[in-house]
Structure 1
Amino acid sequence: MAEFLARGAFRMETPVKIKGYAAVVGEKEGQGPLGQCFDRVVEDSHFGMDTWEQAESRFQLEAVGLALDKAVLTNEDIGVICAGDLINQCIGSAYSMRELAVPFLGLYGACSTMAEGLLIASVMTDCGIAENTAAVTSSHFSTAERQFRFPLSYGGQRTPTAQWTCTASGAVILSREGGTVGVAGGCIGRIADLSVSDINNMGSAMAPAAADTIQRYLAATGTSPADYDFIVTGDLGLVGSPLLVDILLKQGIDISAQHSDCGAMIFDPDTQDTHCGGSGCGCGASVLCGHFLPMLEKGDARNILFAATGALMSPMSLQQGETIPAISHLVHLRKD
């Protein structure tokens, strides 16, 4: 059973196993530095559907289906699936889950949702609520831009600190048995808000939340950055990543040798014009499932902290003059 260490932090007596995982991405993501890592690259941003929202649901379904195939399971074997996205009311997840007929918990943690889903699904598996659970998230450039910024046809100029919402989905199947990689612990995030209000500078808004969660987990477990092969953040990008390192360094914690950021990794900023990198629920999820989980499975890494980050604003809150509250949930992944 899970052992609670401090506020929000816990570890598993026996890691919950990752039985299958998959990453499905769009054409731009497939052209990036990690293009060969993903299970499928979909060149049609509509995925054969009538709308981008429907297309995002198809990305989720494809990722879940591929992950189930790897786990040698069917949707009927899944007791609970935790899913979320960026679209209002999480309709991307709701419309994909109606086709699976699996007990469904809809989540919203913005770009931190994959880590949130993994935490909830692993704890539910650990305590025996379900033998097999799943976590899946997605994002789509066109659905997110239309909702949070401007209509695509507007042709607005993107600021230097802006990030590119990934068209991608990642899915993980968790089980009480099977597999050599598992969830060994985690830390539930707290809201951090340093009064950043620029929707095009989310890396700066989210970095303090990541720093808080990482620091709390290290303190609760009595470990140091050197105990981990990688400390991975979801999508702080090229602005937020060095800010995170600097915040922790001022607390006497140096993660510079271990830190990697999915948003900084998924695109080539010099050739793909993505400014500060990738973002979106699908960014961290796809890089986790396409790059880091295979690394653990092959034994190229043994301990990874995955701290996905989310900016919890809405267009309305920003129009009302609110700042951007942020959160970061952390999952400790370990190779046995």
Structure 2
Amino acid sequence: MTIAVKKRLVPSEKYALKCPNPMTPEYITIHNTANDASAANEISYMTGNSESTSYHFAVDDKEVIQGIPLNRNAWHSGDGTNGTGNRKSIAVEICYSKSGGARYRAAEALAIKFVALLLKERGWGIDKIRKHQDWNGKYCPHRILSEGRWDQVKAAIAAELERLGGKKAPKPSKTETKTGGATYTVKKGDALSVIAQKNDVSMATLQRLNGIKNPNFIKVGQVLKLTDSVSTPTKGKKPSYTLPSGIFKVTSPLTKGTAVKQIQTALAALYYYPDKGAKNNGIDGYYGSKTANAVKRFQSMYGLAADGIYGPKTKAKIEALLK
């Protein structure tokens, strides 16, 4: 089986903004878009705007379109300029993710087949698949996570890969199996990166949960937390967001503070805040042109007056989408 990929590559003069670094990929990262645009519209918008956010492929119910060459990095994982997600993974955006329904299900099904083909072409196994959340903790792919289907999607990719004659997923031995899905006991020869892969959790999450500053220093017999709570796994649980009341717009001097950070964080959660290549997604607490542009794009998508001014109507719409 082959899937025709249409190429609508970003112009070379935009490489410095969209894909500045040569890349030899090691992973595939799966995303859900925050709207109901087609693959053609997703790629057209990404390659045509002046923001750094970028991704290699968009997949809808009918086609796969490529926007970034596979030998160049893309800014999609939110883990910084030198983060593994941004610098070493192929980004696949699944379209029509906002509303779901038949078109989304068809897009996801095509994405599963396409990702399996990417794995097969590279001789990779299912262990090379990552979700956006693994790199920086962001709740993405949001629809798959909110429906509690990440394991199901991975299993479908693995099944399609096996059908294509690709690398089969290894069956974990008893020493590799999660202990109740919440903790892992370090064994001789273990490395934190290997533990992270086997337990489908990011290195950053393991280090945060266990207070590990140097990933090379783990001890045999050490019990590592795999989730925030041993008794109550957080899988599928959405984070909560606080939004300020009032009017926010570009002023001189710029409005700044915690309230602006709350607006930026909420916009980033909906994939509208632009600086995925920057530290902390560029959330700096200043209501400047980048924040206003993100608000304007959000407003235009949801039928609001696209003036870049955050007010009650914009607040209400963001809150409704984040519930």
TM range (shorter): under 0.3
The higher radius of gyration belongs to 2
Higher relative contact order (CA 8 A, sep 6+): 1
- With normalisation by structure 2, the TM-score equals 0.24
Higher share in strand: 1
- With normalisation by structure 1, the TM-score equals 0.24
